[in-house]
Structure 1
Amino acid sequence: MLRRTILKQRQPSKSCLVIPKYTYSSFKTAVETAEKLISPQSTTTTTKFQDPFSIVSHEMSNLAKSIANLIGSGHPTLNRVSSYYFEAEGKNVRPLIVLILSKALSKIPKSERNRIIIDEFDVTEQEHIKGTPKYGQESIAGNSVDDSLSPLNILHGINPRIILDPLSKPMDKLPEMDKLNGILPKQRRLAEIVEMIHTASLLHDDVIDLSDSRRGRPSGNIAFTNKMAVLAGDFLLGRASVAIARLRNPEVIELLSTTIANLVEGEFMQLKNTVLSEKDNTIENDGQIKNIPEATGKVPTEKHEYRVNEQDIVDHETNVQAAFEYYLHKTYLKTASLMSKSCRAAAVLSGAQDPIIENCYQFGRNLGLCFQIVDDMLDYTSSDSAFGKPSQADLKLGLATAPILFAWKQEPKLGDLIARKFKETGDVEIARRAVEKYNGLEKTREMATNYCMAALKNLRSLPESDARSALELLTNSVLTRSK
């Protein structure tokens, strides 16, 4: 059986911390196994796809246009900054997964999708019903994702005739063929919301990380300013929040809203980087060490559960395991939380039962972890032009990702470099040589493979279909991608 780290929500201890072990001797073996898993069992019911995009090509080709309708502002410069990243060619993995998964979920018989009342009608055909639906009827037809919950003059503080609410523009009418595609209007909107949240995080991350490129051109903070990039990210989150509310499903609202908080929590974990970081009462700001104001005691504050106290006497293996758990938890919050919760939200909107919903969540979680672990590996191996953003930057930013953690397991003295975030002259070069010496990249690839295989297993809970085959191929491509 494949083994993966389960994040412990308690103080690390020697008895409960075990480094993930891998039963696959090589990456080649894992890929061959994955290929067997995604091979259609019946040529009459499934098709082998070269491009998963083709399954939802209409929805994906209209994604940027639909998002533009959602983020419109009365301020032209704000519109320009907010839409900047949508102009460039991105991976669009998150909305693609939501849309294909939604299509795959539609293959479950309707009799087994009765957890909620399913809204099967295109929003442009619905009769607008006043008022907010009661819980348990939040997906009933008539409550369009384009309808405001409050009067527009209240939302904008201005005569609605003067300003057009971009969130009230109707979605493009779906052609007859797309109605048969099985993707619900609220699932389409979900895909757009997910990409808005992700793009907002990119604008913020590029400011935090001092990035100078994104998707093959100057990053938002360089093309405009730090302040404009931050404000545009905030604006996108605001627009996304309104769109989330208009899905009119409390469970989905809760899921998507927590992803925004998760992204911030993950970023704070990355600022500290690892349980081995120096004192908790200091932070690094532009290369300078800054003291954090002491807490007054009026608001309770708790230490992070992954903290290793300086007075604790722990062995090297326990330290490494604690650092791996910290890394995986941070990776979940920064990357996998949005994938996992959006997949769960798509399943909730489909009306599927709890076991399917849970498998969809686990699929997104495993795929998200795989995606980011591969990203961390590519940071060591890809060029800037191939990666679309600055590569080989993690060590320079002081980030201890899987490759260096695997090397540290074999060479304990690397812990000093990790703790000081590779700040001293020669630290980065020493770390790179250690990763090469101790096969850190190969072990990281095996780690990503385990999560890929787990995600493929989760997909087996869905009925066999073209959409599921496309998801399986997409999952495998995340593992083997080069950018």
Structure 2
Amino acid sequence: MEVRRQALPASLALLSLNYGDAALETNPARGFVYDSRNNLQMRGLVVLLISKAAGPSTAELSFQHNMVSGIYSSQRSLAEITELIHTAFLVHRGIVNIGELKSCDGPLKDMQFGNKMAVLSGDFLLANACTSLAQLQNTKVVELISSAIGDLVQGIYYENSKSSENCLTDDIGISTWKEQVFLSHSALLAKSCQAAMELAKHSTEIQDMAFQYGKHMSMSHKLHSDLQPFVKESSSDTMAFSLNSAPAVLHQEFLGREAWIKQIREAQGKGNIMDYKKLREAIKAGKGVTSAIDLCCCHGNRALAALERFPPSEARAALANIVYAVTRFP
């Protein structure tokens, strides 16, 4: 299954990451979204792009003087808020479980100090984001972004909850996986895109299309990330991967829970050291990887379908190319 493609320029016009600058710059979407080393932050940029793609609302013409390069100042602020919230939760995720540390991991006092700094730094960023959110003076936008923060907390809780089988893998199906990924990865972007349309006073239909694009593009992005250890030619055979990633969850669905646990135990050597090469080959031999690729392309198609409601523009082409970047595999 492949994402349908259309003729688009090889290079993209992407809005500058400096939100105070309205200039456009050219960057390849694939390198922007995933540069083989880092999973780059792009949420704020997507909010800016979809704001520019939608343009001003025909129902509200009174504050168009507040636009720069087709984007309202409130939408720029929202893009900054989105990135602040995402960064705050990334910092909070850096907290180390002291109880799992070994003597070779370093001094305990350093780890405790690092945990305190992670909590304080994340809280500081989140507090600044909430202050800026209140300054937008839009009740619906505050409600949307506040609910996205709640979704993030719930999603991270699910990620950190311990499973019953040696805490290695969860007994979940792909539907549960998608629900959890929406909370922890997609809700913030989807609701930020919707909020950007609300700030411009666009119709409910346009708001829903923006939400759908943010949701399905970020789902494709997560699936693309999960698939890298299985499809990337240069990946190390010994590289660890999550046993709760999409290919593993789909593999478990096709194989059955008991057979999946048996494969995990067979891949564990002395000292419970996991042989990821052996386990990777077992997953690749099944249907999990191909099914995850199909699911990634399916979400990509739904994101592209949502974009069709927006008028043709350079910004819409950039949003489409971001989808193409995360649905293309070697």
Q: 46, 66, 74: which one pairs with 1:186?
A: 74
Distance in 1, matches of 2:175 and 2:152, equals: 17
Confirm or deny: 8 A CA contact 1:403 1:443 kept in the other structure. Answer: yes
Distance in 1, matches of 2:97 and 2:174, equals: 22
Corresponding position of 2:189: 339
Corresponding position of 2:251: 407
Distance in 1, matches of 2:136 and 2:177, equals: 33
Please tell me the residue identity of whatever aligns with 1:120: Q
Distance 1:404 1:202, change over 3 A: same
Does residue 1:234 correspond to 2:123, yes or no?
yes
Confirm or deny: 8 A CA contact 2:264 2:279 kept in the other structure. Answer: no
Confirm or deny: 8 A CA contact 2:50 2:193 kept in the other structure. Answer: yes
Distance 1:259 1:426, change over 3 A: same
Any residues of structure 2 matched to 1:349-428 within 5 Å, and which? 349-380=199-230, 392-395=239-242, 399-412=243-256, 413-416=258-261, 425=272
Distance 1:193 1:90, change over 3 A: farther
Distance 1:371 1:236, change over 3 A: same
Corresponding position of 1:431: 279
Does residue 1:51 correspond to 2:12, yes or no?
yes
Percent identity reads 27
Distance 1:463 1:62, change over 3 A: closer
What RMSD in Å do the two structures reach over aligned CA positions? Answer: 3.5
Please tell me the residue identity of whatever aligns with 2:82: V
Does residue 1:453 correspond to 2:301, yes or no?
yes
User: How far off is 1:428 after superposition?
Assistant: 5.0
Corresponding position of 2:64: 120
Please tell me the residue identity of whatever aligns with 1:477: A
Q: Deviations over 1:131-161 (max 9, x none)?
A: xxxxxxxxxxxxxxxxxxxxxxxxxxxxxxx
Q: Which runs of 5+ in 1 are unaligned?
A: 1-23, 25-29, 41-47, 65-88, 123-177, 211-220, 288-306, 308-318
Corresponding position of 1:138: none
Please tell me the residue identity of whatever aligns with 1:325: S
Please tell me the residue identity of whatever aligns with 2:215: R
Confirm or deny: 8 A CA contact 2:48 2:75 kept in the other structure. Answer: yes
SS at structure 2 position matched to 1:207: coil
Between 431-440 and 238-247, report the one with greater CA deviation.
431-440
Corresponding position of 2:143: 254
Confirm or deny: 8 A CA contact 2:197 2:206 kept in the other structure. Answer: yes
Distance in 1, matches of 2:135 and 2:196, equals: 15
Larger Rg: 1
User: How far off is 1:434 after superposition?
Assistant: 1.7
User: How far off is 1:439 after superposition?
Assistant: 4.4
Please tell me the residue identity of whatever aligns with 1:93: M
User: How far off is 1:118 after superposition?
Assistant: 6.0
Please tell me the residue identity of whatever aligns with 2:40: K
Corresponding position of 1:144: none
TM-score of the aligned structures, taking structure 1 as reference length: 0.54
Distance in 2, matches of 1:94 and 1:350, equals: 18
Confirm or deny: 8 A CA contact 2:220 2:323 kept in the other structure. Answer: no
Distance in 2, matches of 1:250 and 1:405, equals: 39
Please tell me the residue identity of whatever aligns with 1:416: I
Structure whose residues are more often helix by fraction:
2
Any residues of structure 2 matched to 1:46-445 within 5 Å, and which? 48=9, 50-53=11-14, 56-57=15-16, 60-62=17-19, 91-106=40-55, 110-111=57-58, 113-114=59-60, 119-122=63-66, 179=68, 181-207=69-95, 225-272=114-161, 277-278=163-164, 323-380=173-230, 392-395=239-242, 399-412=243-256, 413-416=258-261, 425=272, 429=276, 430-445=278-293
Distance in 2, matches of 1:457 and 1:229, equals: 39
Confirm or deny: 8 A CA contact 2:51 2:197 kept in the other structure. Answer: yes
Distance 1:382 1:233, change over 3 A: farther
SS at structure 2 position matched to 1:206: coil
SS at structure 2 position matched to 1:360: helix
Please tell me the residue identity of whatever aligns with 1:202: L
Distance in 1, matches of 2:39 and 2:287, equals: 31
Corresponding position of 1:83: none
Distance in 1, matches of 2:144 and 2:138, equals: 10
User: How far off is 1:263 after superposition?
Assistant: 1.1
Q: Deviations over 1:364-418 (max 9, x none)?
A: 111111111111112445699x99xxx94443xxx41211122223322344369
Distance in 2, matches of 1:104 and 1:436, equals: 39
Distance 1:392 1:233, change over 3 A: farther
Distance in 1, matches of 2:62 and 2:250, equals: 47
Please tell me the residue identity of whatever aligns with 2:88: A
Q: Deviations over 1:154-173 (max 9, x none)?
A: xxxxxxxxxxxxxxxxxxxx
| Number of aligned positions between the proteins | 295
Q: Which runs of 5+ in 2 are unaligned?
A: 22-37, 99-109
Please tell me the residue identity of whatever aligns with 2:193: C
Distance 1:401 1:63, change over 3 A: farther
SS at structure 1 position matched to 2:71: coil
SS at structure 1 position matched to 2:40: coil
User: How far off is 1:468 after superposition?
Assistant: 1.1
Distance 1:327 1:419, change over 3 A: farther
User: How far off is 1:92 after superposition?
Assistant: 3.2
User: How far off is 1:478 after superposition?
Assistant: 2.5
Q: Deviations over 1:45-91 (max 9, x none)?
A: xxx361242xx23xx23569xxxxxxxxxxxxxxxxxxxxxxxx972
SS at structure 1 position matched to 2:214: helix
Confirm or deny: 8 A CA contact 1:256 1:341 kept in the other structure. Answer: yes
Please tell me the residue identity of whatever aligns with 2:228: L
SS at structure 2 position matched to 1:480: coil
